[in-house]
Amino acid sequence: LPVAAVEIIMGLMQPPFDTIAYGQIDIVLLLLLTLALIGLRTQRSWLVGLGIALGGLFKLYPILLLGLLLVRRDWRSMAWTFGWLALLNSIAIGVMGWNNHVMYVTQVLPNIGGGTSWVENQTINGFLSRLITGTMETNPIRDRTINMLTYGSFALVAGASFLLALAPAERRSNVFALQFSIFAVVMVLAVPAAWMHYSTITILAFTLLVWRAAEHPLSVAQAATLALAFALIAYGNQWSYFDGTRHLGLPALALSYKFYGLALLWSLMAQAIWQVWALRRQAPVQAPVVLHPA
């Protein structure tokens, strides 16, 4: 019942509503990430590989999970992922033709790659682009400083997440689930561009944080932070609060409010994983008991 209640609340988020209403793929990505996590928990490497590979065909950023498999030395799941990627891409080339794929890589991808200052982009890059350039453009921003800050921020956030993935955790534990799902937040926080409906996949992160909190209650400050993160991510889209008018100062900063929610969510997950790791490292090692005959 508590899990069902949480899922109902998650379904009230604006991002999944927009995803379904406008025919976006993010709800499918949420399913694939969930299947990959189930595969990891049950040691079904073929399911892990299928979830990551199929997700990577829809969007590029789920391939980031290969780094998690590398850190965890899950060679079987990595092999299955590469196998599925080869098979699925072969099918796609067979159906669509080679020329379409070459055109995508050489012409489409360079034009859509990079960040943008448009209000829909709620990533680190979007925040920096609006803050530094003072513009709100849909076209990619070609600014060396912003690019360096974006890639540096990605390296910092993703690197810290990979470091947290090194913490020992049993596959069926909620800590391991958090180590996996934190990358769902990285995917929409640290990539150059991610529209608001991309945050649909953070449902996985919120659900697993609640699962963790059921066994290890949050402090008042942590609960308030989690509620604020959910409110910022769940409420509204660009049409809810933006009428196209550009404002200076605080109103401009307010346009990045979903980015603040993502940052808070990532911080809570990182704190939860780190606390478990720190407690285990501080736990005293018990000396073996030796029984001497009387």
For 261-280, write each residue's pLDDT tens digit: 999 999 999 999 998 888 77
pLDDT digits (tens, 9 = 90+) for 131-170: 888 888 888 888 889 989 999 999 999 999 999 999 988 9
Record the tokens describing residue 214, joined without a space: 């059921």
pLDDT of 282 higher than 90: no
Does the pLDDT value for residue 55 go beyond 50?
A: yes
Cα angle for residues 170, 176, 182 (degrees, 5° grid)? 170
Instruction: Give CA–CA dist 62/38, Å, rounded.
Output: 16
Q: Which percentage of the chain shows pLDDT scores above 90?
A: 62
The helix, strand and coil proportions of the chain, stated in percent and rounded to the nearest 5, come to: 75, 0, 25
Q: What end-to-end distance do the CA atoms of the chain give, in Å?
A: 56
Q: What is the pLDDT of residue 91?
A: 92
Which residues, in sequence order, are CB contacts of 89 under 8 Å at separation 6+?
57
Largest CA distance in the chain: 88
Q: Please report which confidence band the pLDDT of residue 241 belongs to, taking 50, 70 and 90 as the band edges.
A: confident
**Amino acid 267: pLDDT:** 97
Determine the 3-state secondary structure of 245 from DSSP.
Answer: coil
More reliable by pLDDT, 178 or 294: 178
- CB burial readout 251-289, b (16+ within 10 A) else e: eeeebbebbbbbbbbbebbbebbeebbeeeeeeeeeeee
Q: Record the pTM.
A: 0.90
Residues listed for the chain:
294
Model confidence at 8: pLDDT above 80: no
